[in-house]
Amino acid sequence: MNLIIDIGNSAVKSAVFQDAKILRSYVFPFENFSENFQKIKKDYPQIAFSMLSSVIKDTFEIEKILKRETKLFVLGENTRLPFKNNYASPQTLGKDRLALVAAGSLKYQNINLLIIDAGTCITFDFKNDKNEYLGGAISPGLQMRLKALHNFTAKLPLVKLEENITLIGDSTKNSILSGVLNGVAAELDGIIDRYKADYKYLTIILTGGDSQILSKRVKNGIFANPNFLLEGLNYILEFNKTQ
């Protein structure tokens, strides 16, 4: 049984896996890791392996806990991957992107695949039908755009994200929401169309915290999977267990 831990910019996302199946998933604050880990271990005492992926550098205490209780794997630039990485600067490649591509290589090994992760940033990652990762793009996420409009102007308010927004905003708040939501949807559709022009039989995955709200607005056919990143980390762990 595996415990997968992804420490992001705003929270810790975790899941317990039996082989490739998620038994239960969790989201909790970084500061409460020890308390939540003990609860998870109590519910699933069979956990023997763990995989840690983190965007922050100071994870010494967390690693200490996991090493004491499990066989720990930490995702890094030297971790063996289940795909060929052709990224020109692998040392700067985000761990979340590695995990997403790993999930893609598991589920869509011989297929051209574009993975769009709508979180703090919107990342685009492309894996071809030869199981080679070529790279992608990074763009500001929805919340980042809303905050930028407020922080870099004198009078625009900080607006909370809402789903039911029309094309024409009838107030400043609705104009901001229309610009951000419809702008990102148009951006995604445009980029998808460019990939489709270059690569036939393209499969598109939309995941991340804002995937649900965006999947309703993007015209191109998209399969949304909120656990795609965790599944990728579990696949990397399973891939490294046998070595």
Domain with CATH 3.30.420.40 in the chain: 2-74, 84-232
For range 151-180, the mean pLDDT: 94
* Residue 96 annotated in active site: yes
Bind-site residues for K(+): 117
Q: Which of 19, 43, 58, 96 is catalytic?
A: 96
Bind-site residues for ATP: 6-13, 120
Residues 167 and 178: beta-carbon distance below 8 Å:
yes
Query: 84-232 adopts what CATH topology?
Result: Nucleotidyltransferase; domain 5 (3.30.420)
- The pLDDT, as a whole number, for residue 209 is 84
For range 226-230, the mean pLDDT: 88
Bind-site residues for substrate: 87, 94-97, 172
Q: Which residue has the higher pLDDT, 125 or 109?
A: 125
Q: Considering the chain, what is the average pLDDT of its residues?
A: 92
For range 66-74, the mean pLDDT: 94
Range with the poorest average pLDDT among 31-45, 117-131, 179-193, 217-231: 217-231
Query: 2-74 adopts what CATH topology?
Result: Nucleotidyltransferase; domain 5 (3.30.420)
Q: List, for residues 205-223, the tens digit of each pLDDT value.
A: 999 888 888 888 888 777 7
User: What are the residues whose beta carbons fall under 8 Å from the beta carbon of 91, sequence distance 6 or more?
Assistant: 77
Alpha carbon 40 to its chain's center:
22
Q: Coil, strand or helix: which one is 142?
A: helix
